[in-house]
Structure 1
Amino acid sequence: MKPFLFLCIGFLCFPLSGISQEATNTIPKRIYTTNTVKGESPKIDGILDDTSWNSVEWATDFIENRPDENTPPTEQTKFKIMYDAKFLYVAIRAIDSNPDKIVKRLSRRDGFDGDWVEINIDSYHDLRTGFSFTVTAAGVKGDEFISNNGNNWDGSWNPIWYTKTNVDSEGWTAEMKIPLSQLRFGKSAAQVWGLQVQRRFFRKEERSTWQRIPLDAPGWVSEFGELHGLKNIKPQKQVEIQPYIVTKYDTYPEEAGNPFRDGNDFKLNGGIDGKIGVTNDLTLDFTINPDFGQVEADPAAIALDGFQIFFQEQRPFFVENKNIFDYQFANGQDNVFYSRRIGRSPQGFPNTTSGEFVDQPKNSTILGAAKFSGKTKNGWSIGVLESVTGKEFAEIDNNGTRREELVEPFTNYFVGRLQKDFNERNTYVGGIFTATNRRLEDNLNFLHKSAYTGGLDFKHNWKDRTFYAEGNLVLSHVQGSKEAIAGTQQSLTHLFQRIDAGHVDVDLNRTSLTGTGGKFEAGKAGGGNWRYNAGIIWRSPELDLNDVGFLRQADEIRQYAIVRYQTTKSVGKFRRISAGFSQFTTYDFEGNYNRIQYEFSGNMQFQNNWWIDFGGAHKPRIFINTFLRGGPRWRFSEENFGYFAFGTDERKKLRTSWNVVYSQAKENNFSFFEIGADVTYQPTDAMRISINPSYNRNPNKTQYVTQADSNGTTRYILGSIDNQTLSASIRFNYTINPNLSIQYYGQPFVSIGRYKDFKYVTNSIADNLNDRFYQYQPNEITFDAASDSYLVDEDTNGNVNYSIGNPDFAFVQFRSNLVLRWEYIPGSELFLVWSQGTTGFGNVKDHLLRSLDTQILGQQPENIFLMKFTYRFVL
């Protein structure tokens, strides 16, 4: 452990040593003073001819932000802001000396294509969060909730507001009408809000801002100017109710004899979503029997390492304001709250006999969910989420006689999140608590009865937010039957049964587990060209978050350090150049030194807006505790990898990007090659077509297959695999107007794995690859077609010692969505959805394209036709 400790001390001290190296020049805050509407409120038509606009002055003198920061922009921009008791009004004039060249591309909401202007409002004035309202020259709305000082922009936030645009001889203009009920602010008689206005001048890919923000600034929201003059505005208590009705018709291939697969199903459903402003700072969102039918399908994926696959949350109720509940305590996707656990696929399976048919629910039913969230004037961020999922039963048919078996219990999920800003918003401390409680019955004792997680976190910024230190701590506690806790101890996340582990072992009498995790990091976030940070992460062997969180692997200590360089001005032929170097090491809690990696990366954007990315890494030490699924630590040979990508100007109607990744281990242990592309064509301002094909090949001499017993000795079986995968994401978007659009998404996916040269582990950590295993000789292993397995006779005496199931696979899947969306009035929508898909297993002897033909094009797909109608009542 000594090398690890020295590295931790050195790298954690490194960021702090730079405190006196660079000083951040303070840029004066610009102030815009607004006023109340005089006379009639302006008509929102995009034409700035209302006399009421004369009650306030124009603000102008924008400064270029990119590509040449702190220089005059090509074209100037002006804006006005005024207000009344219920609305904030914004007028924008985007001057353009060539109005005919203004780019007006249509898209759905949040498209952000073509020329646009946005206003960012930090109405909390907490210097970390804000509300963004964008309008393009084509009149397309965009709205995002900004958090983490501009490092996170959440486009799922969809407030009700109004905007129109117009092109004239001077350029283009826009008017916005933003209800105060859609913003959050305190009760002060005189308000001060953070304010920024930004313009994209599309032809030159130029950004200009009202308040100058240097490219080396430590954040975005903290650097805003200020909006003054808001007096005696009263917080508006928001009440919105949105009932919905869904009709669903499902067709699929009829399965002979199966009463649950007769060829089609019809379903009528309904529910309610709602939003209530308890105070102007805090909002209660609730949903009863939510529907997620129009959500895009998850991408296809296969995990040969056995770990669960992380999928992004796409369901609107959970996506909106997710930043408040986020507690990403370590690296990767590890998070105390992973909302995909709510409504998950049932975890139990019924006991059946031959000839019985099963109707297995695909997801758990969310009976109801509510979240209470927001931020107060005093700097308290509050988030409380409560959700209940109902019992799920599998229905079994035995020659017309039916019964039900419980496959998912009644479950309650709770998440509470709290943060407090202080020290002039430069510091916050917070905490999180989650609870999962199940009403276990019947045959579900393999699940945890309860699971609790608590966490504390903090972040401190100093020297104008140039430097920071942050950290968190997590404590988990799970309870259940002896069976459940034994299963947790032996799961891939924990592997207490690992035969060479001296610090953990399986205790079959335990009924609970308690573990810890955490992170500490310090670094430089702004000022000058250099950024750097370093930290330490740990996850104890007993840590378990997977009831309502996401944890890939426990039992790890990781040290890391990163240094990055970026230009803040154009340099010669380049708009922007950045480069970075990182290093990390990992240990387990027994002190085993498992990994070290060194990586470099770079990015360059040319003046013509083409770009390249490149990088590579060296991995001189790779030991994996989980590879043999309870067996000893496994050593992979030293590895090197590199990648290269380039792309054309993303503004062009025909644009493309390409990427290549190549990895090679010594002794030809394994390799990886991937090539991918993205080709987008926009024949008109209203239509866009794109395809994103990808092919990879991953041969490996030591791919884990299974375990077998040979005369009381456990054999860890490996094989040489040739794994090839071909996929493509296809998208078609046609926007009739900003409120009416048609979108198509499709993804064919084919992955084939062929095994040969089977072997078993002899010395898993040997220096030489061939010393790590013994390869079966031809007279020791034979393939039996009748049982589709390999028969092993180790001592060649004619008696089979054990068999290995044929691990070859050919997985084929196609998923698609065609969605017509019409927002017929702000906040109320009609969806018409056609989802199509097929999943199958092809012939492993076929090549990829042949499998695509026989298993996708040659199969009858499942079709789902869905209509969803919502109406949003604003009370």
Structure 2
Amino acid sequence: MSKFYSLSLFFLILFSFKTYSQKKSLQAKSITENITIDGKINEKVWETASVASDFIMFEPDNGKPISNDKKTEVKVLYDNNAIYISALLYDNEPEKIQKEITNRDVFGVSDHFSVSINGFNDGQQDFRFFVSAAGVQMDCLATEDSEDFTWDAIWDSEVTLTKFGWVVEMKIPYAALRFSKADKQTWGLNFMREIKRDVQKYTWNRIDTKIGAVIPQAGILEGIESIETPTRLFLIPYSSAYYQQSDIGSDTTLKAGLDIKYGISDSFTLDAILVPDFGQTKFDNAILNLEPFEQQLEENRPFFTEGTDLFSKGNLFYSRRIGGEPISKPTKANNEEITNSPSTVDLLNAVKISGRTEKGLGIGFLNAVTEKTKATILNNDTGEIRKEVIQPLTNYNMLVLDQRFNQNSSVSFVNANTTRNGSFRDANVSALLFDLNTKENTYNLYGDFKYSTINTIEDYDGYKAELNFRKTSGKYRYLFSGKYISKNYDVDDLGIIFYTNYHNAYASGSYRIVNPTKTFNTFKVNQFVNLEIENTTGKLQTGAIGTEIKATTLKNDYFEFVLEATPFKTFDFYRDYERIYVFLPEKVFSAINFASNDNNPFSIVLQPSFTKFNEKGRANYGFYISPKYRFNDKLSISYTLDYIKKNNDRGLVDFDDTGAIFAERNREIAQNDLTGKYSLNNKMTINLTARYYWSYSKNHAFFTLQDNGYLTPNNDYSLNVDRNFNSWNFDLSYSWWFAPGSEISVLYRNYGLERASVVEKDLSKNLKSIFNSDLTNVLSISIRYFIDYNAVKNKF
């Protein structure tokens, strides 16, 4: 028998082993009468429904039955439009129920009840709907790897506080779910109750924390039969107005557009955005970026955050590429100047289709088109103005095919394509992924193979391969991982990558407790080794060993300790600069993280850190502090200071005739964030977000990079490459969800940015300078209205 056949047989047996764990089952009851969602549960039909009870603690004391004085009883009804859920949550101390009012999708300090629904009962993905004791809704798409709270569904809920505890009533339309076309439905189902003051979570069907996967441990919902679901067509028209004022002048802008959501079937949905408006999305955190690679920005545009879980497969989709910086910079002669060069590209339209077939095949397709963008260049001698294309009309495509099987395993194909009009560069990346779990979720094998092709002046291609094996259950767990990335592997047209051309080996082992001890509610220690070797030179790129300890005390304060050592000489490779590389000395990094129990009105997070290099005077110091005070259930405020000081840091600053110029420099980075929230009720909030960022780089010695990666002094370089950077952002917003899916928002925004080559170390002078600069003021109002086709079709 060949070794390959033996190995294949081993994995076939390993990942096909099946266990038959006991699952609870609940019968949904069909109804014809109307249910009023008022949190009172006074319709007679509720009395005839089956009851889900006997909840079991999920954490911290896994497996402990809920006490009788906190018993929980849940019932499910259904009709052709939706499922209806009622929950009685008993509490022997109802006056202690936590009920902070927050924004949607923000949990805060509140008790919570949730339902997790898997319409295909395949153990792969949940649709989760939460409601707090204050009546605030949260919802997400959940896999074993992540919870996507950017996904927002339209559903209804009401909460009532009573003498015995609290009551929840929910209506979840079928439009908010995905399920098969079967006449008799069988769904994965679980309910969760969180008692915040005790920091305890209970579930209806027990979730064993010794098992690595949560979703396959759901119970079963049966009884939904012969439903005739309505057309899933939703229109969300919007209108917005902006008034902008700065020292340059003022401007008024009016916008209108439309979002469309259409249910192609019970399993597939089309989302389209026409004439998009992202003017009220959260501001980007501008920084002084002196690293060799671009700053990776968060995605704040709703279309690219909502329901994009399929497109995250393989990490080939960095949505900020769409509508980001132009691909090229304008060129000019000595007698010309650039009078206008847009920093971003406008999005014309975008559409995405996603869903899953009855046999577990997930299909995702995303297409977006950005407009041709030109820079304006003035000839100072003749006065002639010319235009230069810096970004052509560009089409972005993502295609994902994800086949699930055996409840908790999958094989996926992903393709990312970028096509630019004309002679500009095009790109295509394809990936094959697999994620295999044993039926009992004790072991996992996952990996990928990716191939990129770039069509430009000189075409090139590259690839990446990775394989990981891990134990995912029990107190003791481990991971072994290896990967190889070729020199020309490039996914930057629609993805993002920093380092290529290396191979890697990684191993880790961990121990955790699964039930509280006399000292800790939770405790975990992890040890890891990470090696990366550059392919061309054979030099060590990363060589680290580390220990992480995480624990929660019986008072629910959180502690974390990290110690990471790089006991070898390594080299930092600058991929974007023809693969230059520079020597890095040995170093030791340590950090402590403390977070106090946020049930208390005052809570705080502290994170000191320290890095020492094996080089005279070279060290990094970091300090993060974030106190928060909750005045009452409506009003809270928090402040964050994130401070880093780098002594004798070294980095690339320029190129001249001698080669790459590096500087030895002192750097300081200070980011201050102030956030405040006042909730008038659970539909109406006022939010404050302010950020002041200051950073400088003061150079005191220069070096020339040698071919071997080491630096030699350069006493002739005299250009001023010091940097002083100030950034200010202030947002004050009012939001009112006046109807399901419908919102009025008003935003006042004030911002400014200042760059200088003269370092000013006095913080008060920097603040005065930024506030005396050309600050921009924007006042905007936006109205979005959710229209359900079924509610209006008879009117037309």
TM-score range, shorter chain: over 0.9
Cα distance in 2, alignment partners of residues 773 and 193 from structure 1: 63
* 2:45 corresponds to 1:45: no
Shift of 1:347: 3.2
* 2:716 corresponds to 1:774: no
* 2:654 corresponds to 1:716: no
Structure 2 counterparts to residues 110-189 of structure 1, below 5 A? 110-113=105-108, 114-147=110-143, 149=144, 151-189=145-183
Write the letter of the residue equivalent to 1:267: T
Check conservation: 2:242, 2:781, Cα contact below 8 A. Answer: yes
- Please point out which of 638, 660, 668 is paired with 2:616: 668
Structure 2 counterparts to residues 211-290 of structure 1, below 5 A? 211-254=205-248, 263-290=249-276
Aligned in 2, Cα 1:773/1:362: closer, same or farther, shift over 3 Å? closer
Aligned in 2, Cα 1:683/1:125: closer, same or farther, shift over 3 Å? same
In structure 2, the residue corresponding to 1:222 is in which secondary structure? helix
Partner of 1:503: none
Structure-1-length-normalised TM-score: 0.85
Write the letter of the residue equivalent to 1:252: S
* 2:444 corresponds to 1:468: yes
In structure 1, the residue corresponding to 2:309 is in which secondary structure? helix
Cα distance in 1, alignment partners of residues 399 and 340 from structure 2: 36
Check conservation: 2:675, 2:688, Cα contact below 8 A. Answer: yes
Write the letter of the residue equivalent to 1:429: V
Write the letter of the residue equivalent to 2:606: W
Partner of 1:326: 312
Aligned in 2, Cα 1:273/1:306: closer, same or farther, shift over 3 Å? same
**Number of residue pairs aligned between Structure 1 and Structure 2:** 771
Write the letter of the residue equivalent to 2:57: E
- Please point out which of 557, 562, 582 is paired with 2:508: 562
Check conservation: 1:706, 1:804, Cα contact below 8 A. Answer: no
Aligned in 2, Cα 1:541/1:848: closer, same or farther, shift over 3 Å? farther
Cα distance in 2, alignment partners of residues 143 and 590 from structure 1: 48
Partner of 2:96: 101
Check conservation: 1:107, 1:738, Cα contact below 8 A. Answer: yes
Partner of 1:456: 432
Cα distance in 2, alignment partners of residues 625 and 573 from structure 1: 43
* 2:359 corresponds to 1:378: yes
Partner of 1:421: 404
- Please point out which of 434, 442, 448 is paired with 2:416: 434
Structure 2 counterparts to residues 191-206 of structure 1, below 5 A? 191-206=185-200
Cα distance in 2, alignment partners of residues 553 and 44 from structure 1: 53
Check conservation: 1:751, 1:848, Cα contact below 8 A. Answer: no
Write the letter of the residue equivalent to 1:686: K
Partner of 2:395: 412
Aligned in 2, Cα 1:419/1:355: closer, same or farther, shift over 3 Å? closer
Deviations 1:719-759 (A, max 9, x none): 22000111112111111112111112111001011011223
Aligned in 2, Cα 1:763/1:435: closer, same or farther, shift over 3 Å? closer
Cα distance in 2, alignment partners of residues 759 and 523 from structure 1: 45
Partner of 1:797: none
Check conservation: 1:603, 1:613, Cα contact below 8 A. Answer: yes
Shift of 1:631: 6.9
Check conservation: 1:604, 1:613, Cα contact below 8 A. Answer: yes
Cα distance in 2, alignment partners of residues 609 and 426 from structure 1: 32
Check conservation: 1:336, 1:550, Cα contact below 8 A. Answer: yes
Check conservation: 1:294, 1:819, Cα contact below 8 A. Answer: no
* 2:322 corresponds to 1:337: no
Partner of 1:502: none
- Please point out which of 671, 675, 681 is paired with 1:731: 675
Cα distance in 2, alignment partners of residues 24 and 631 from structure 1: 49
Shift of 1:275: 0.5
Deviations 1:256-293 (A, max 9, x none): xxxxxxx1122112211111000110111111121111
Aligned in 2, Cα 1:94/1:814: closer, same or farther, shift over 3 Å? same
Aligned in 2, Cα 1:220/1:237: closer, same or farther, shift over 3 Å? farther
Cα distance in 2, alignment partners of residues 720 and 591 from structure 1: 25
Cα distance in 2, alignment partners of residues 298 and 754 from structure 1: 25
Aligned in 2, Cα 1:112/1:667: closer, same or farther, shift over 3 Å? closer
Partner of 1:88: 83
In structure 2, the residue corresponding to 1:553 is in which secondary structure? coil
* 2:522 corresponds to 1:522: no
* 2:554 corresponds to 1:607: yes
Partner of 2:568: 621
Check conservation: 2:336, 2:377, Cα contact below 8 A. Answer: no
Cα distance in 1, alignment partners of residues 470 and 684 from structure 2: 46
In structure 1, the residue corresponding to 2:375 is in which secondary structure? strand
Partner of 1:684: 632
Percent identity over the alignment? 25
Partner of 1:499: none
In structure 1, the residue corresponding to 2:573 is in which secondary structure? coil
Shift of 1:62: 0.7
- Structure 2: segments with no counterpart, 5+ residues: 1-6, 790-796
In structure 2, the residue corresponding to 1:285 is in which secondary structure? strand
Check conservation: 1:750, 1:848, Cα contact below 8 A. Answer: no
Shift of 1:705: 2.6
Check conservation: 2:258, 2:274, Cα contact below 8 A. Answer: yes
Write the letter of the residue equivalent to 1:299: N
Partner of 2:350: 369
Cα distance in 1, alignment partners of residues 216 and 745 from structure 2: 39
* 2:530 corresponds to 1:549: no
Structure-2-length-normalised TM-score: 0.93
Cα distance in 1, alignment partners of residues 515 and 289 from structure 2: 43
Partner of 1:785: none
In structure 2, the residue corresponding to 1:291 is in which secondary structure? coil
Check conservation: 2:544, 2:566, Cα contact below 8 A. Answer: yes
- RMSD (Å), alpha carbons: 2.3
Cα distance in 1, alignment partners of residues 403 and 429 from structure 2: 20
Write the letter of the residue equivalent to 1:368: N
* 2:245 corresponds to 1:299: no
Cα distance in 1, alignment partners of residues 376 and 651 from structure 2: 38
Check conservation: 1:242, 1:872, Cα contact below 8 A. Answer: yes
- Structure 1: segments with no counterpart, 5+ residues: 1-12, 255-262, 329-334, 482-510, 766-771, 782-791, 793-802
Deviations 1:69-92 (A, max 9, x none): 111335221111011111100001
Check conservation: 1:389, 1:412, Cα contact below 8 A. Answer: yes
In structure 2, the residue corresponding to 1:325 is in which secondary structure? helix
- Please point out which of 638, 642, 647 is paired with 1:694: 642
Check conservation: 2:539, 2:571, Cα contact below 8 A. Answer: no
Shift of 1:27: 4.1
- Please point out which of 647, 652, 658 is paired with 1:704: 652
In structure 1, the residue corresponding to 2:223 is in which secondary structure? strand
Deviations 1:574-623 (A, max 9, x none): 10101101111111223604131101101110011111110111102243
Shift of 1:251: 1.1
Deviations 1:805-833 (A, max 9, x none): 21111011112222211111101111211
Cα distance in 1, alignment partners of residues 378 and 733 from structure 2: 35
Aligned in 2, Cα 1:520/1:346: closer, same or farther, shift over 3 Å? same
Write the letter of the residue equivalent to 1:141: Q
Structure 2 counterparts to residues 573-592 of structure 1, below 5 A? 573-590=519-536, 592=538
In structure 2, the residue corresponding to 1:242 is in which secondary structure? strand
Deviates more, 1:460-469 or 1:68-77: 68-77
Partner of 1:477: 453
Check conservation: 1:750, 1:851, Cα contact below 8 A. Answer: no
Aligned in 2, Cα 1:851/1:469: closer, same or farther, shift over 3 Å? farther
Check conservation: 1:345, 1:364, Cα contact below 8 A. Answer: yes
Write the letter of the residue equivalent to 2:712: Y
* 2:60 corresponds to 1:67: yes
Aligned in 2, Cα 1:548/1:371: closer, same or farther, shift over 3 Å? same
Shift of 1:562: 1.5
Deviates more, 1:622-631 or 1:849-858: 622-631
Aligned in 2, Cα 1:851/1:623: closer, same or farther, shift over 3 Å? farther
